[in-house]
Amino acid sequence: MWRHAWKPVAAVVVVGTPPAYLYYRHYVKDKTFELPVKVQSPDGKSEMATRTFPLLPLTVLEARIREHATFQFHSRPGGIVWKQATAALASNDPIEDAHASQIVERDPSDPSYPGDYLFFAVMDGHGGYETSRLLSRILIKAVALELSYLNNPPPLAKPSYLGSARALLWPFTSQTVTYPLDADPQKVSLAIQHAFTKLDDELLAAPLRILANSLDEESRKKNVIPDLSHHPLALATMLPAISGSCALMAVFDTAHQDLYVACTGDSRAVAGVWEATPNGEGRWRVEVLSEDQTGRNPSELARMQSEHPKDEENDVIRRGRVLGGLEPSRAFGDARYKWPRTVQETLNRAFLAGNGTPMRTAPALFKTPPYVIARPVVTHRKLSFPANEPTANPIRFLVLATDGLWDRLSNDEVVSLVGGHLAGFKGIISKSNLQTLVPTSSGSMGVQGKDKTDTQQEGSWAFLDENVGAHLIRNAFGGGDEMYLRKLLSIPAPHSRRYRDDLTVTVVWWEDGKEEAARVVTEKVKSKL
């Protein structure tokens, strides 16, 4: 087992260095720091100005890092223990990220029984939190329902994801097929894609249905747009449509030992695969399981150009962004990149003008919508579990994170940090030493579609957090360099958004367990002040 192989290594961790301590002691007396920020001048224009901010105590910032850190483990029949650590840190106020997870045990009537579906997802919102929060409640249900249809076709038309509370699993048994179609990766991938796109279609159609149901015959004849700003569903349907969110989901199918990763947007999934080496020490192979979907991704640029007229070839992506504005080229919501201009104007008058929250106008280059789609790219990998070993190169852990993490850390750094954490490392480790202690190799590299933020090449990593998600967040924003971390995390909203993004990370790993009965334990990690 890989974790046993790490035990001798964990004992040689460097626990602090004098230079780091002196650097901290020299600067800790400073109570404030100055920073250039963007402000609005008296004439309404944006300009840069220097502002002074209080330097918050490390204990306060550590409490923030750990505030939303949770850990769960799930002991499943058959001996596999699934472990999940999630943590989040806001830059926006309120945070625009969200996350969700769920384990679904197959119904005995299912031809693929026994086995579980395990769903893990992170959502990176933008332009508001409404879309990401809605997705955190319904996206997994939507995908699970579509997967249930593979082996249990519904007797009637499929229900709406938004309009029905029947998004329960395996509710249909009268037409159960005898051959498990969910064993076919292509069919499963298409079902996941359909769930994503159908859900986005429903988000965008919800305000239109309310408007259509509110028009009487006289209003239709005179083309009068009613004021629906006080309709009970006005903001509840409009805000999730006009804000936006990326979504990244991992689906583990233990019945068929399959892993699917569905990516809409520029969040990223990276796996650490344990490889034995001839010297018996082993190393982690870095496998990137998603591609950043932005205009900097050549395949996304080609797709965008192929879906619009030739005269828009140089406009669909400008400066790596959709029409020069939105960075992710795939997302839920973002109706100003999807609704025709006349529809945007009509719904804005009907629902938002009376609320004093008008919708932003369509981009200047907007001609042939939609420019943004929600259809995910789905990748598939086979799994192997400890009970089935020895097998070649089983995936051991998976990191799902919004781009706030990948703006600051590389794929290799994340795998090394998680590998070291799982090995039990404690204290402060120089960046160069960690590369030796936790060696990595390169597998599939994915496509880097982000303009990576400048990060510190030198310095040290900190292994101080029990929760591996909080551990990654700390190291994304300074690690062992306490003064750097304090300054970066002391910047208040909205100025912080110029220097760091919201960050949500989920780490999933699995081991062989001895428990015979299934159980679920959830623990909220307490801050240590």
- What's the pLDDT score for residue 367? 97
- What's the pLDDT score for residue 444? 73
Distance CA 486, CA 17 (A): 19
The string of pLDDT tens digits covering residues 7-36 is: 323 333 333 333 333 233 334 456 999 999
Average pLDDT over residues 333-343: 97
pLDDT score of 388 more than 70: no
Q: Give 44's pLDDT tier (boundaries 50, 70, 90).
A: confident
pLDDT score of 217 more than 50: yes
Q: Give 464's pLDDT tier (boundaries 50, 70, 90).
A: very high
Q: What is the dihedral of CA 446, 452, 457, 460, to 10 degrees?
A: -80
Q: Give 517's pLDDT tier (boundaries 50, 70, 90).
A: very low
**CA R_g for the chain:** 25
CATH fold of the domain at 2-524: Phosphatase 2c; domain 1 (3.60.40)
- What's the pLDDT score for residue 449? 63
Helix (H/G/I), strand (E/B), else coil: 36? strand
Sign of the Cα pseudo-torsion (188, 192, 195, 197, in order):
negative
* Residues 385 and 257 sit within 8 Å (Cβ to Cβ): yes
Distance CA 420, CA 123 (A): 26
Q: Give 443's pLDDT tier (boundaries 50, 70, 90).
A: confident
- What's the pLDDT score for residue 518? 34
- What's the pLDDT score for residue 455? 56
Segment among 129-133, 148-152, 313-317, 474-478 with least mean pLDDT: 148-152
- What's the pLDDT score for residue 458? 74
Determine which helix (DSSP H) or strand (DSSP E) holds 381, and give its type and residue range.
strand 377-382
Cβ neighbors of 475 (< 8 A, separation 6 or more) are: 409, 413, 417, 461, 462
- What's the pLDDT score for residue 113? 86
pLDDT score of 375 more than 50: yes
Average pLDDT over residues 361-388: 90
Mean predicted lDDT score pLDDT of the chain: 86
Q: Give 198's pLDDT tier (boundaries 50, 70, 90).
A: very high
Distance CA 292, CA 78 (A): 36
Q: Which residues pair with 508 in a beta bridge?
A: 84, 398
- What's the pLDDT score for residue 413? 96
pLDDT score of 277 more than 90: no
* Residues 88 and 95 sit within 8 Å (Cβ to Cβ): yes
Top-confidence residue, 409 or 42: 409
Top-confidence residue, 99 or 19: 99
519-524 and 70-76 beta bridge pairing: antiparallel
- What's the pLDDT score for residue 94? 96
- What's the pLDDT score for residue 374? 98
The string of pLDDT tens digits covering residues 54-94 is: 999 999 999 999 999 999 999 887 778 999 999 999 999 99
Q: Closest Cα partner for 193 from 261, 134, 275, 115?
A: 261
- What's the pLDDT score for residue 209? 96
- What's the pLDDT score for residue 104? 92
Top-confidence residue, 298 or 162: 298
Top-confidence residue, 512 or 396: 396
Amino acid letter at 457?
Answer: Q
pLDDT score of 180 more than 60: yes
Domain ranges of the chain: 2-524
* Residues 297 and 263 sit within 8 Å (Cβ to Cβ): no
Model-level pTM? 0.88
pLDDT score of 285 more than 50: yes
The string of pLDDT tens digits covering residues 218-238 is: 778 888 899 999 999 999 999
- What's the pLDDT score for residue 112? 85
pLDDT score of 497 more than 90: yes
Distance CA 97, CA 500 (A): 13
Q: What is the dihedral of CA 486, 121, 243, 126, to 10 degrees?
A: 30
